[in-house]
Structure formats: C-alpha cells, structure tokens
Amino acid sequence: MLNIVIFGAPGSGKGTQSERIVEKYGINHISTGDVLRAEIKNGTELGKTAKGYIDQGQLIPDSLMIDILASVFDSFKDSKGVIFDGFPRTIAQAEALKVMLRERGQEVSVMLDLEVPEDELMVRLIKRGKDSGRADDNEETIKKRLNVYHSQTAPLIDWYKAEGQYRHIKGLGTMEDIFADICKEIDAVAGK
C-alpha cells in the first residue's frame, strides 16, 4: 500500500494537490480538516468540541484526533493506499500513526513537505477566507494557526528526516509544476 503523508503550513496547498494525487494514483484521501468540518456541519458532539479549537486557531487534542484517524483509516477496506492530509500535526500524532500502520503491517511510504514562504501563505489564506467564508481564514486566526504550525507541527520535519521518509517539495510555482515534482517522488517510492 501507498501511504503518503502530505505536509505543510496552513495554505500550503495540501488539499489541492491531494485531490490530484487521489485521481492519478487511485488512493483514498483522509483530510482531517474536512472530517472535522463535516462533523461541525452535522452538529455532532465531536463537531461542537472541534469548533471550539478550530475557531481559536488551536489544534484538536491528540488523543481525540488519533481515535478519529484510526476509525477513518479502517473504513477503507482493500484500499490501494491513503493520502494523509492534515495528519500528523504533532510528534505524538506521528508516533501514533507509525504504531497504527505497523499494527496493520504497513508504514508511511513518503512524507511530502510542501514549502511555501510565509508572506505567500498569508495572502492565500486571506483570499480563501474571502472566497469561501471559512471562519478560521481571518487574519487573527491565521496568525495563530501559523504560530501553532511553527511550534507544534514544524518539528515533524526533523522527525520524518530521521525516519528517512522526508522529501522537500517547492510549493511555489504553477500547480502543474508542483504536481509534477510530487509525482516524481511518489513514483520513486511506488517503484514505477
């Protein structure tokens, strides 16, 4: 199985590139942000809890996130692979993902880090907030999310380097160029 972690700061383009990867490689997409937004929309207890954190630009607690991830992962039977988009976001989540996959006889195939300069991230997220009305895409919450990214999520770069799974992708340029770079890395691990 192809288990791809797509990684990057908020606004780095993980969601957009994930959709293309899913289409080309025929794998399943797990976007933890999408899962949480669906729960909020449906007014579930989990959605209510999640909303409090998301609106503050904070992360949902690890234990809760890890349970959600495992149940979504197990809902894909006979899958060719999965792209993890928005997970892991902390070292504890990365360790839990490693254990979860190992228990199922699998591992992360590759971690793709979409790197985008900070001023570009701000521009993209503010534009997305205006277009989509996503409540956490306002200037104040974006700044908090970027701080959370630097303090809690960016340490995963060294963690995945140590695992030998890290690949850097330049996240600036046309969507096609970025996608081509991503495909090169995936094809290298998929042995195609």
Interacting residue ranges for ligand ATP, rule: CB under 6 A: 8, 10-12, 14-15, 32-33, 36, 53-54, 58-60, 65, 86-87, 89, 93, 136, 145
20 is catalytic: no
89 is catalytic: yes
Q: Is 32 labeled as ligand-binding? A: yes
Number of helical H runs and strand E runs in the chain? 9, 5
Residue 83: beta bridge partners?
Answer: 4, 29
Residue of 20, 98, 124, 128 marked catalytic: 128
Burial of 27-45, coded b for 16+ CB within 10 Å and e otherwise, reads: bebbbbbebbbebbeeeee
For 14-30, what is the HEC assignment? HHHHHHHHHHHHCCEEE
CB closer to ligand ATP out of 54 and 101: 54
Distance CA 114, CA 69 (A): 22
Residue of 51, 124, 134, 161 marked catalytic: 134
Closest CB 102 distance from ligand ATP, rounded Å:
19
Length of the chain: 192
CB closer to ligand ATP out of 29 and 145: 145
Indicate the residue whose CB is closest to ligand ATP.
33
Residue positions annotated with a catalytic role: 14, 89, 128, 134, 145
Residues belonging to the binding site are: 11-16, 32, 37, 58-60, 86-89, 93, 128, 134, 145, 173
Residues belonging to the binding site for ATP are: 11-16, 128, 173
